Amino acid sequence: MTEYMPRLFADDGSIIQVGEGLLARTLRREEWTHEAHLAACLWLVRDRPDIDVERELPAIIRGYNESVGGVNDDTQGYHETLTQFYIATVRAHHAETTRLPLCDAVNALLQSECGKRDWPLRFYSREKLFSVEARHMHVQPDK
């Protein structure tokens, strides 16, 4: 996989803006990057105990995708396995960084191995992870 340098966040406010924009469906489509996905997830896990992330984030993402003209189908849009995988990853990271300010915790995640775009491929074959089944339901790793 191509190595990407993560786009880091400057402050807590920029992360909160992404999270609130996701919830309100006002975030610009081009801002919904890999980094934004992880930042919003960490913000939700950490600062929004009123939201059951594992249960509610799928509908939040699907609704957001549709609000910006996206499609959630067999090949694009929402991906259940990736979402649940990264929620678990974010929760584990949060357990180790609870004392850090939000921005520091998010940037540490983005710069870590588990924040990389190819992290799930250490546990899933490409075929399994990008299958229609994995997009629509949570599947267990095959590696």
Give the separation between CA 45 and CA 54, rounded to whole angstroms.
10
Residue 143 in domain: no
User: Quick one: which of 114, 141, 110 has its CA closest to 9?
Assistant: 110
Longest CA span, the chain: 40
What's the total number of domains in the chain?
A: 1
Q: What is the CA radius of gyration of the chain?
A: 14
Residue 142 in domain: no
Residue 1 in domain: no
Q: What pTM value is reported for the model? A: 0.94
Residue 93 in domain: yes
Residue 97 in domain: yes
What pLDDT score was predicted for residue 102?
98
Residue 2 in domain: no
Average pLDDT of the residues of the chain: 96
Q: What is the mean pLDDT of the segment spanning 18-39?
A: 97
pLDDT > 90? residue 5: no
pLDDT > 90? residue 4: no
What pLDDT score was predicted for residue 3?
67
What pLDDT score was predicted for residue 2?
54
In order, the DSSP letters of 118-137 are TGGGGTS-HHHHTSHHHHHS
Residue 21 in domain: yes
| Long-range CB pairs of 68-71, under 8 A, 24+ apart, other chains included | 68/25, 68/27, 68/28, 68/29, 68/32, 69/29, 70/29
What pLDDT score was predicted for residue 131?
98
- For residue 34, the enclosing domain spans 12-136
Residue 30 in domain: yes
- Per-residue model confidence as pLDDT tens digits over 49-97: 999 999 999 999 999 999 999 999 999 999 999 999 999 999 999 999 9
